[in-house]
Amino acid sequence: MSIVGLAHRGYPKKYPENTLVSFQAALDLSYSHLELDVNLTKDGVPVVIHDPTVNRTTNGKGPVLDYTWDELQKLRTDGEQAIPTLEQVLRLAKGKAKVDIELKQSGNLYAGMEEKVLEVIRACDVQDQVFVTSFDHYAIQRIRQLSKDIEVGLVIYGATPSIFGFAEELNAKYISVKYIYLTQDYVGLCEEKGIQLIAWTVDDETHMRQMRKQYPGVWVCTNELERWKKCVLETEAP
């Protein structure tokens, strides 16, 4: 049985976030979706790491953008894992789970990032197994300008109805919202407009159960993969 939910950076509660072993753990738990973050190296390789610097998650120091891919792959996380490329993760997930590719630090810092990400998606032949999201809505606008077939989504903090006009303009299929701002009215609006709502990041068991009861159609993005799986299986049991 596929567990409908987004594995936030893989399974970071057990493995180093945004690493191949972390994503494999999510696949082993039958998660329907993986969520990951992309930054660019100095030589333009899309790599899977959340922060704009390598300081927090590796034994290196400095901005991701200061490293070439050859230099970056020598760094290690606390669990002795390497930073993967976007291509490596997409090939790992191909045919197994859909991937939410969140663009980090786009715009002026990473000129051409959107083109590079689309190149990787097409090289892996996973156009129908990914969607691209970002807090930087102009980056998503750029993705849409470059591609009409790749699904896109908008990441926001609050549940703001004003976002719907832009979502419609971009034909965005997803809106990702911090879960504490969800309301029944907002969920209903998304359903009416055919937009899949994603709630991030839900780790507390009580909140998980509330989500399942109040908003069963909302996809949950979580770090607590086994906890959410247990909640889903219990609430779907006959």
Catalytically active residues, by annotation: 8, 50
Q: Which residues contact 49 (CB under 8 A, 6 or more apart)?
A: 18, 37, 38, 39, 57, 64, 83
CB 23 within 8 A of CB 31: no
**Cβ(11)–Cβ(224) under 8 Å?**
no
Distance, in Å, from the CA atom of 73 to the CA atom of 130, rounded to the nearest integer, reads 24
